[in-house]
Structure 1
């Protein structure tokens, strides 16, 4: 539900901040005052193509900002989470902010929850939040996909549609697997190649510890001479074979400190530490002797290690990996060979499984199609009756269902839907998207939404000039239908008829005023007294009479009743 809309330097409006609630909100104003500015703002926030002409004269850019509550918009919340654009910092994460700037040079930028977004993303998200009906290209009900979604929602086909989608996805997965196996080509030739590659790898010790030991052994043998010299020199000092050996130095140090220990008791602790160091020195000497005994300059062994290491690097370059990753290559090739060994049998199995999956989809699609045809008759009848009430006597509305010959499962089912309408008796029904009259189109859209009882998932519906070309009793009926729709959805309606405006739960008035030599549009929320005055103006024109005020109060009383 739309909760807040702010516009800056947009057309003739310099600044407006509007709050919205549930039910029906009406927007009125004199001709040319800019009543449709709010609808246009929502259109641009829904991804409509940027228009530099909409920027207020003298300003660098127009700014639009809308905030929505997501308590009644689960699909929008899912979309935000799927696209990682939900924002837990906004309360409990169940609100959403859309922002767009339109520059005077024609540029445009968009944000979702404060994060940069593409216009396409803005449009996708807005499609889950707001639906605009009127004389505009971007009406959702003109798209056949939206028509099918509305029919399914009205019929409660969610579970049936999920079955169809699941069956189509299962078939697609099997078909992809078969395509992958068939695309391998000559399986026998591929097997021979894999076996050759595996034999080369299996001749080597590729385990992680074996590769690490090979590198370590090669380094040790390659540096044997230096290691031997270093160990011999260290052992000479550690064994004390000359006057400057470590044992002699350590013993002399203990002796010197021992003479003074009687004068400083803490020197005893130092002597104990040096004694422990002597023990550690003995253990280090024994270990170093073992290391020295293991060292030997063996040119043959070094050559063998270099040969093994060279082969390992050669295989690594061949497979474009590091030596440590060759074991993963071996595992992957082995798995592929195992798969190919059963490829022929698997292909035969897949043919049967694909056929069975197609049959399951056809069965699920048939059940869904039956439900759709039943719902189409009910929606056609109810909408036809409503458009008669809305001043199009003799008009007919039909939900045409066209079966498609599916060669592969379609996640949407086995039929397509087209909303057809004839606005006048004797005329053949035509596609809703081809209806020329904007006023008729708005009323037909209203009739569809009322007949469907707002079952589509979009929580906010906007009707722009839905009452164009009507008046009297029909206008009163339109108002009542809008108010009824407002019981299940948030409804915004731009109107010039008092009979419609009186039915609103809230009322905004748009008016123009001169300010510092420039004309500006201002939007004001009306209280009960101001609302009655506005209805009287709509009834009586420039000169508002007592009779017009009385009629306005009666309209409001009737609406409340």
Structure 2
């Protein structure tokens, strides 16, 4: 509920801090005192357009801060804040602030976190429900009528939404499968031809790299063949350097024992022979590795050309060709097994559709039954509100199949006929301002809505009525406020007497400066204000006595 409203420099309000509590709060004051300014200020924190004309003359900016407290943050508010990534700790108040600059522009905050005005508008529907002379939201807006009727009927809207989602999911899966089978069937012959080509080619992962390395090696052998042949000639034959080393080692071996230096020379020569032999072995192996076989090289290049040409054809890398083969086989398997799969999906979609239709039909019947009860309940409220010639009807009509959705197969709208024999039409189209407010009050009482906005405000719902009708309005506002919070801007003493908190709005002038102020009245102040509302400019003893009777009567 709304617990505090702080206003700074809004039109005639210089500085104002108001505290509110549960129950019915009434706001009264003379015409032109500034009640509309108070509502305009509240509208700012509810996301209304930031008009720089609201900034008090001579000031740079205006600001409005509204504090809301809940035993537990309602789910709708949690969802809006969660989507906007705004954190509110459990148990702490929700503080909404809006600043408007005199030169244009505004800033909005929720618990000191910057937010958009759009977020404030999303929160507004959960925080404050405002019903005024020209209200086009709340109960007047047909978009909310179906939800209100469902709450009144105690309908399982969540179960129907789940059935709808299940049906749509099954239908989407069926559509996707049908599209895939249709596409695959059209491509069957092409798939078979492509798969036959790939199967004949038998590509292997990593094959391109292996072939490229083999080709590069052969091409090196072709380049180095002359050098290798010359080197091999130097190391082979009876007149080669290695043969000479070995011959020298044999001769030296026969005389090495004659002197230590000869033995050392033999050891050095043996090492040279070993190193030279290793060089000979490596040259031989290098020659084998780099052997150049023109036929083999031609085969490798032909294979690489075929693989790369196939990869270009299928717009992929050579190493992806084996995967592409597997995909083609899977697509062909889908074609072959598609009919059986489609039959299963068709059965699942049909069953899900039947579940949805059954729930939607049951909800439709529940709505029709609840509509009759609601019409009777509203009818019982109309006569005391001086609307006895009017009639109310809850229209429940079946939508075309293509407009069914998670909320069911019905369109729901509240209609009225204000005169005998007149056709039924939407609330906002045929009701005058005063009639509309009283219709809304009758609806609110009949619905006894739980789960609406945290705070409900009625702006001059009693305009143009008095006596018994005003008393009936006051009694119903008081009843609606039980267990919640309702604020009423009123000119009626009968309504004002019902208030549990009474605020008076007054305008004063000092020289050229005019200010609007709001005060919470005590018991004596309430008596005096209600007496003023009864008598006019001069408060008489009789008016005070009548005010006492009104206050005692409630």
TM-score, length of structure 1 as denominator length? 0.73
Contact 2:77 2:123 in 1 (8 A): no
Alignment-derived partner of residue 266 in structure 2: none
What is the CA distance between 1:354 and its match in structure 2? Answer: 2.8
What is the root-mean-square deviation of aligned Cα atoms in Å? 4.2
Q: Paired residue for 2:177, among 174, 177, 181?
A: 181
Alpha-carbon spacing, 1:199–1:345, altered in 2? closer, same or farther (3 Å):
farther
C-alpha distance in 1 between matches for 2:398 and 2:413: 11
Which aligned pairs between 1:70-219 and structure 2 lie closer than 5 A? 70-71=70-71, 74-80=74-80, 82-88=82-88, 91-92=89-90, 95-157=93-155, 159=156, 161-184=157-180, 185-188=182-185, 190=187
Change (3 A) 1:163 1:542: same
1:47-104 residue CA offsets vs partner (Å, 9 max, x unmatched): 333433333333343322222224365233431354154424xx52553232223344
SS in 2 for 1:141: helix
Structure 2 unaligned runs (5+)?
218-284, 293-299
Q: Tell me, yes or no, if structure 1 residue 358 matches structure 2 residue 353.
A: yes
Following superposition of structure 1 onto structure 2, how do residues 444-463 of structure 1 map, counting pairs within 5 Å? Answer: 444-463=439-458
| Partner residue, 1:473 | 468
Q: What runs of 5+ residues in structure 1 fail to find an aligned partner?
A: 222-294
Q: Highest Rg: 1 or 2?
A: 2
Tell me the residue number matched to 1:54.
Answer: 54
Deviations 1:190-222 (A, max 9, x none): 56777869997997777xxx99x99xx99xx9x
Query: 5 Å matches for 1:160-309?
Result: 161-184=157-180, 185-188=182-185, 190=187
The one-character-per-residue Cα deviations of 1:120-172 (angstroms, maximum 9, x if unpaired) are 33222211222111123442111112111111111111x2x222212221221
Question: Which range moved further: 346-355 or 360-369?
Answer: 346-355
Q: Distance between the aligned counterparts of 2:130 and 2:484, measured in 1?
A: 13
Q: Deviations over 1:202-248 (max 9, x none)?
A: 97777xxx99x99xx99xx9xxxxxxxxxxxxxxxxxxxxxxxxxxx
1:257-314 CA-to-partner distances (Å, cap 9, x unmatched) read: xxxxxxxxxxxxxxxxxxxxxxxxxxxxxxxxxxxxxx999799xxx9xx99xx99x9
**Pair 1:10–1:425, CA change in 2 (3 A):** farther
CA contact (8 A) 1:198 1:334 kept: no
Alignment coverage as a number of residue pairs? 482
Which of 416, 433, 438 is the matching residue for 1:438? Answer: 433
| Aligned mates of 2:373, 2:416 — CA distance in 1 | 15
Q: Secondary structure at the match of 1:179?
A: helix
Aligned to 1:418: 413
Which residue of 1 is the match for residue 424 of structure 2?
429
1:29 Cα deviation after fit = 0.9
> Cα distance 1:478–1:191, how it changes in 2: closer, same or farther (>3 A)?
same
Contact 1:464/1:494 (CA < 8 Å) preserved in 2? yes
User: Does structure 2 retain, via aligned residues, the 8 Å contact 1:85–1:112?
Assistant: no
Q: State how far apart, in whole Å, the 2-side matches of 1:516 and 1:194 are.
A: 93
Question: How far apart, in 2, do the equivalents of 1:127 and 1:377 lie?
Answer: 27
Question: Using a 3 Å threshold, how does the CA distance of structure 1 residues 198 and 165 change in structure 2: closer, same or farther?
Answer: farther
- C-alpha displacement of 1:497: 1.0
Cα distance in 2 for partners of 1:319, 1:558 equals 89
The residue number in structure 2 matching 1:252 is: none
**Number of the residue aligned with 1:286:** none
Structure 1 464/323 Cα, relative in aligned 2: closer, same or farther at 3 Å?
Answer: farther
1:242 maps to none
Where 2:401 maps in the other structure, the secondary structure is coil
Q: Cα distance, 1:34 vs. partner?
A: 1.2
CA distance in 2, matches of 1:79, 1:490: 22
Under a length normalisation based on structure 2, what TM-score does the superposition of the two structures give? 0.74
Q: 1:500 Cα shift?
A: 0.4
Q: What is the Cα deviation at residue 111 of structure 1?
A: 3.0
Equivalent residue for 1:533, pick from 525, 528, 533: 528
Deviation string for 1:490-548 (max 9, x for gaps)?
11110011110111111111111124622121111122222222112212222112222
Q: Does the CA contact (< 8 Å) of 1:76 and 1:129 recur in 2?
A: no
- Among 543, 546, 551, the residue aligned to 1:548: 543
Moved beyond 4 Å, runs of 4+: 189-206, 295-300, 322-341
User: CA separation of 1:536/1:408 partners in 2, compared to 1, >3 Å: closer, same or farther?
Assistant: closer
C-alpha change, 1:186 and 1:335, in structure 2 (3 Å) is closer
CA distance in 1, matches of 2:331, 2:154: 46
